[in-house]
Structure 1
Amino acid sequence: MRLITFEHQGRQSVGALIDDRIIDAAADPELPGNMIALLTAGAPALQRLQQLATDPRAAIALDQVRLLAPVPRPGKFLGVGLNYADHIRETGLATPEFPTIFNKQTSCVIGPGEAIHKPRISDKLDYEGELAIVIGRRCRHVPLDKAASVIAGYTIANDVSVRDWQVKSPTWTLGKSFDTHGPIGPWIETSDSIDPHNLELRTWVNDELRQHSNTRHLIFNCYQLIATLSTVCTLEPGDIIATGTSSGVGVAMKPRGYMKPGDRVRVEIEGIGELCNPIIEEPDTRCY
């Protein structure tokens, strides 16, 4: 099942996408109205949502809604660096013996079709197409063989990076957290639908294919990442873990392949769909 957050006639809701129809959770007053609450409610809520598919009052045509980030403000947005062997080779860095984890501030999250801002302060704007895990239930100290059970599903993430700001801090957080630099979507593909460790991943900038790999090449797979992270902190419904990117990033190209206003970046993952975002100049949004 594909879980979505959407806007329709000025109203925000959650639901499921079935074929070209949106099944609106708002048609059932017992269902939560936001994604974190829906995931927290667990399997019974998802079953009720699926049952709504037979109710014509719950259906909205896909072309009548605007898809938003499936989790508009996750509690945590965690990233994994250097998690594909081909990407490690292009960086010239050593293969890590332990996952390299960083934070993306959740204010960076945007949805499909929303614009990524090229910061006024830098022109080193890069893309990183990634498979992202969406946590489905509160968990801590999850053993490797139970990790699949805490995953609600998977979505696409673009770990947009401002490379000169990334190296300013050893944690990478500054260069990973600019506003609009966390596109996710277009929906959550529930974990019963796909094998996360054998998915083709491609990233295009305009019509140029920049990245092409498969999630089977992850150094630390989805379950290993959950086991590691849940040893440290409680994972909660709606938390996002972007699992890392493959080779082909702009910083490794000669000349550099940074994104610029007027470009469009598209990340496609087999079994999930595609996430497409235009690039624009950062607008004047000063607020003080």
Structure 2
Amino acid sequence: MPYATYEFGGARRVGRVEGDRLVPLDGLSELGRDTPSDVLSAARERPAEAVPMAAVRVCPPVPNPDKIVCVGLNYHAHVGETGRDLPTYPVLFTKFASSLIGPYDDIVLPPESLQVDYEAELAVVIGKAGRRIPPEKAVDHVLGYCVANDVTMRDYQYKTHQWLPGKAWDRSTPLGPYLVTPAEADLTAARVTTVLGGRELQSSDTSRLIFGIPTLIAAISEFTTLLPGDVILTGTPGGVGFRRDPQVFLRDGDEITVSVEGIGTLVNRVRAEG
């Protein structure tokens, strides 16, 4: 069943998504380190306090993860459009919790960057701590899945050989809308798309990942302990704006929609800061 972290009446809560309403879970204020899989599955519902979805602000499912680990160059078409060699080990970089925004929040364009790009991605949320997790045990450590838009300031990404300045901008990365549990997710060939201003710019599916989710969890947990609430962004397909001719970047007034089939959809307006 899908779960959401949401704000209502000045308080933050976790709720189970039931149609067009949210049924809060007793004692839980957000998904994260304190809500491993066993805690979430055992949480008691409070149906008498259910609220309509239209009355709440939906937050990132995990507003304050300890770690956000992102994967670059993980679809064949994206590697091809960059002109790089096919990686033999996952290309990894990080974001901070301060990078996250909700699934329907505005993407704010900073005045410093003129090349703000989009990247549709499937995100994995960890539900059970682990170190050196073997691939065959990886799914046991997954709390669920959601959608991410790895918004990237390309002019800052390529200032150095390290991508951090272009990838970890404050309040730049939509995540959500809900956490879909592994039992409800079919990622065999889930379609991944970006639509900007009514034009489809990215379209692929998860069968085309170079490094699958078990491989990513094994590789990351080899050097760091994965904790409940940690988020892994699994990479974007081809079609990013920076590699198009002519290039396509986000502009004030745009609306961008990023979807992963069976997982959810992000819809964000774009506005200039200030």
What band does the TM-score fall into relative to the shorter chain? over 0.9
Q: Provide the rounded CA distance (Å) in 2 between the counterparts of 1:228 and 1:242.
A: 14
1:195 to partner: Cα distance: 2.5
Query: Which structure 2 residues correspond to residues 89-128 of structure 1 after superposition, within 5 A?
Result: 89-128=80-119
> Does 162-171 or 130-139 show the bigger shift?
162-171
Question: Match for residue 15 of structure 2?
Answer: 15
Percent of aligned pairs sharing the same letter: 38
* Structure 2 counterpart SS, 1:192: helix
1:190 aligned to which of 176, 181, 186? 181
What does residue 163 of structure 2 align with?
172
Cα shift readout 1:61-117 (whole Å, capped 9, x = no counterpart):
222211111111211111101000011111111111110000112211000111112
Pairs aligned (count): 274
Alignment correspondent of 1:2:
2
Match of residue 39 from structure 1: 35
Match runs of 1:145-164 below 5 Å: 145-164=136-155
Aligned counterparts of 1:200 and 1:47: Cα–Cα separation in 2: 32
Q: Report the counterpart of residue 63 of structure 1 in structure 2.
A: 54
In 1, Cα distance between the equivalents of 2:179 and 2:224?
23
Q: TM-score, normalised by structure 2?
A: 0.96
Q: How many Å separate the matches in 2 of 1:267 and 1:213? A: 12
Residue identity in the other structure for 1:131: L
Match of 2:259 in 1: 268
> 79, 87, 93: which one pairs with 1:88?
79
Alignment map for 1:19-30 (pairs within 5 Å)? 19-25=19-25, 28=26
Q: Distance in 1 between matches of 2:52 and 2:183?
A: 25
C-alpha displacement at 1:260, in angstroms? 0.7
Please list the CA deviations of residues 148-171 of structure 1 after superposition, one character each: whole Å capped at 9, or x if unmatched: 000000000000001111011222
Per-residue CA distance 1:227-260 (angstroms, 9 max, x = gap):
0000000001111100000011001111111111
Whole-angstrom distance in 2 between the partners of 1:239 and 1:179? 18
Q: Distance in 2 between matches of 1:174 and 1:56?
A: 44
String of CA shifts for 1:23-72, please: whole Å, max 9, x gaps: 111xx3xx3322115522x32542434xx2xx541321222211111111
Q: CA deviation at 1:197?
A: 3.5
Identify the range of structure 1 (243-252 vs 59-68) with the bigger mean alpha-carbon deviation.
Answer: 59-68
Distance 2:236 2:226 in 1: 22
Structure 1 residue corresponding to 2:191, chosen from 181, 189, 200: 200
- CA contact under 8 A between 2:3 and 2:16: conserved in structure 1? yes
Residues 59 and 98 (structure 1 numbering): CA distance in 2 closer, same or farther, change over 3 Å? Answer: same
Go from structure 1 to structure 2 and tell me whether the alpha carbon gap of 1:222 and 1:94 turns closer, same or farther (over 3 Å shift).
same
* Residue segments in structure 1 that go unaligned for 5+ positions in a row: 284-288
1:56/1:105 CA distance change after superposition, 3 Å: closer
Q: What is the CA RMSD across the aligned residues, in angstroms?
A: 1.3
Provide the C-alpha distance between the structure 2 equivalents of 1:56 and 1:161, rounded to a whole number of angstroms: 40
Counterparts of residues 126-145 of structure 1 (less than 5 Å): 126-145=117-136
Q: Quick check: 2:13–2:28 contact (8 Å CA) kept in 1?
A: no
The 1-side partners of 2:247 and 2:47 are apart by 51
**Displaced runs of 4 or more, over 2 A:** 31-34, 37-40, 42-45
Q: Match of 1:80, SS?
A: strand
1:196–1:38 Cα change, 3 Å: farther
Q: Which amino acid aligns with 1:43?
A: D
